[in-house]
Amino acid sequence: MLQIPTADGQADAFAAFPDGGRHPGVLLYSDAFGVRPALESMARELAGHGYYVLVPNLYYRHGPAPIVDLPEHIGEEIRPTVIGRLMPLVEAHTTERVLRDAEAYLRFLAAQPEVSAGPVGVTGYCVGAALAMRTATSHPRRVAAVAGFHPGFLVTEEPDSPHRLVSRLTAEVHLGLAENDMKPEAIRELNGALDAAGVGYRTEIYPGTVHGYTMSDTDAFNPTALQHHWDRLLGLLDRALGNRGRRRVPSS
């Protein structure tokens, strides 16, 4: 566990990385449930492929993770209650806060001796996908790959909706949607914006999935879709960050 200086205090975070040497940095934004064992396990898996992975507590302004008590398994019967407790924190995490934090997280990554020079990748899950896109659009020279899985809040009616900002992108993009994540018209609007931006991208609906399919501690978990997610994410990061020496035994 780490403490990251930000404009608004100290953000607690989890990091995983291989032993020895320097490795491309990846900023991983959690879903709405935040940093927890399931996310730490995913960070370790990604680190095992040769990346330094940083997972910040999105809600650090309200205390260290976990902000609310989470069961080992977030079943459908408890999910509405947990989401109800978290939604005020999600709503308080304004665009201005997201951008201030993104600057701090990227600065922290660049300063770590285990992180190699050069651009980084950013990935996010659920609400974290929107944070990943905001980070990539606000730091086009520093982010070469951006991914989002079972994303939320990418296409909204707000003037600063993430899809309205993709003209700033230079990163390659992968978006892995669950079948119920976005309406067809919203997908068309998002793809149209990405086409106009002229960036390399793939927007893909993962068959047989529901929102949250990567999260092993929820009823939405789909092991086949999780593996597909790893295939897509690792391919994206390897291409964009030039990582050829992938390793499998991370430390944290």
* DSSP codes, 12-38: EEEEEEESSS-B-EEEEE--TT-SSHH
Q: Kindly report the CATH number assigned to the domain that includes residue 30.
A: 3.40.50.1820
User: Cα(175)–Cα(148) distance, rounded to whole angstroms?
Assistant: 5
Q: Is residue 247 part of a domain?
A: no
Sign of CA dihedral 178, 183, 186, 191: positive
pLDDT confidence of residue 58: 98
Q: Is residue 248 part of a domain?
A: no
User: Cα(78)–Cα(70) distance, rounded to whole angstroms?
Assistant: 9
Q: Is residue 112 part of a domain?
A: yes
pLDDT confidence of residue 42: 98
What is the DSSP code (8-state) at residue 218? B
User: Cα(115)–Cα(136) distance, rounded to whole angstroms?
Assistant: 18
Q: Is residue 251 part of a domain?
A: no
Task: Identify the residue whose tokens are 């507590």.
Answer: 57
Q: Helix, strand or coil for residue 139?
A: coil
Interior angle at CA 124, CA 119 and CA 127, nearest 5:
140
pLDDT confidence of residue 50: 97
Q: Which domain holds residue 85?
A: 2-241
What is the DSSP code (8-state) at residue 198? T
pLDDT confidence of residue 1: 85
User: Cα(167)–Cα(53) distance, rounded to whole angstroms?
Assistant: 27
Q: Is residue 250 part of a domain?
A: no
Q: Is residue 130 part of a domain?
A: yes
Number of structural domains, the chain? 1
Q: Is residue 249 part of a domain?
A: no
Q: Which two tokens stand for residue 126?
A: 């659920």
Q: Is residue 48 part of a domain?
A: yes
> At residue 119, what is the residue type?
P
Give, to the nearest 10 degrees, the angle between helix 37-47 and helix 223-241: 50
Q: Contact 3/11 with Cβ under 8 angstroms? A: yes
Closest Cα to residue 117, out of 232, 49, 21, 43? 21
Print pLDDT tens along the chain (252 aa): 899 999 999 999 999 999 999 999 999 999 999 999 999 999 999 999 999 999 999 999 999 999 999 999 999 999 999 999 999 999 999 999 999 999 999 999 999 999 999 999 999 999 999 999 999 999 999 999 999 999 999 999 999 999 999 999 999 999 999 999 999 999 999 999 999 999 999 999 999 999 999 999 999 999 999 999 999 999 999 999 987 545 443 333
